Structures are given as structure tokens and as C-alpha cells.
Structure 1
Amino acid sequence: MNQSILFPDLQDWEQSSQMVVFPAQQQGMNIECRIGIAKLAALSGTILNATDQDIAIKALAVFETYRFDIEEEVEQLIEQELLDELGRIIVT
């Protein structure tokens, strides 16, 4: 694992975009990272329904379970400089 990219233990659910938002830090710079429920569902092999009132709890639980895999993918995207127009990493 590349030690120049760090992942603080911070994540939050953003209801409006249906994504878990979490930071990465590279050489002191914060990079906003996002992963949507479709990708979380694919990783976990479960159905995550956006209309479920407990979606935030479920999505964050899946994120935590697959955190290492997600961080590894994000690391590769950062190293390839595949940031969007707002400087974020979006895992799709």
C-alpha cells in the first residue's frame, strides 16, 4: 500500500447523491472521494434500496466491511490522476 495516500477513519452518507463520502490525503492535500450505493451493492452482493429508511446505516456498514478494497481502488484512481472536474474521486 502506498503510504503517501492516507485514509482517515471518516465517512458520511450524503442522501442527496446516495453516496458515501470520505476523504483521502495525498501529500497533505485532501481529496474528496465518493462511492454510490450501486457500487456498494455490487461489492457486497446485496440489494441496497435507496428508498429504505435505514439506507444510510446499511450503506455505511457495507462501506466499513469493504473499506480496504474501496481504499485500494481509490488509491489506484488517485495514482492515475482520474479525478473529476471538481477534483474528486468517484468510484463507479
Structure 2
Amino acid sequence: MNQNILFADLQTWHPERQVVSFPAQQAGQLIECIVSIEKLSQLIGYKVDSAQVLSVFDSLRFDLEDLAEQAIEEELFNLAGEIELG
């Protein structure tokens, strides 16, 4: 694990975009990471609905942080400057 990338224990469900956002920090820079409800469903193995999205996110947090860390290191930012995990 790269100690230069830190993840806060925060997450926000954005129903209009159907994504959960969670912040990362690298060298003092705040990086917004997002994961779609479809990606969460794929990772957990069943269809996730909006009522359970944050609990599913929490159960997958460490895997999602690993994926985000790798994407940050590879500088895979989308056009909005976010790390998008699907």
C-alpha cells in the first residue's frame, strides 16, 4: 500500500449520478473517487439498490481503495478530474 495516498472514512451516495463518491488525498491534493452502483453490483455479486448502496460500499471499502490507489498511481483521471471505478 502506498502511504502517500490516504483515504478518509467518508462516502456520499449521489442518486442523480448513481455513484458513490469517496475522497483520497495525495501529497496534499484532494482527489474525488467515484464508483458506480453497477460496479458495486459486479463486485458484490448481486444487484445493489439505492437503499443498500452505502452498506455494500462499506463492505467493499478496502478493495475499492486498492483499485482507486492503483488508478491514482496510473493517473487515470476522467475529464472531471475524478478517479472513476466503473
TM-score > 0.5, shorter chain as reference? yes
Deviation at 1:6, TM superposition (A): 0.3
Any residues of structure 2 matched to 1:1-92 within 5 Å, and which?
Answer: 1-49=1-49, 55=50, 57-92=51-86
Deviation at 1:15, TM superposition (A): 0.8
Secondary structure at the aligned position of 1:35 is classed as: strand
State how far apart, in whole Å, the 1-side matches of 2:45 and 2:8 are. 26
State how far apart, in whole Å, the 2-side matches of 1:82 and 1:75 are. 10
4+ residue segments displaced more than 4 Å: none
Partner deviation per Cα, 1:45-87 (whole Å, 9 max, x = no partner): 11124xxxxx1x4111111001000000000000000001121
**Matched-pair identity in %:** 48
State how far apart, in whole Å, the 1-side matches of 2:37 and 2:28 are. 29
* TM-score, L = length of structure 2: 0.96
The runs of 5 or more residues in structure 2 that have no matched partner are none
Secondary structure at the aligned position of 2:23 is classed as: strand
Secondary structure at the aligned position of 1:13 is classed as: strand
* TM-score, L = length of structure 1: 0.90
The runs of 5 or more residues in structure 1 that have no matched partner are 50-54
State how far apart, in whole Å, the 1-side matches of 2:19 and 2:55 are. 13
Partner deviation per Cα, 1:12-55 (whole Å, 9 max, x = no partner): 10010010011000001000110001000011111124xxxxx1
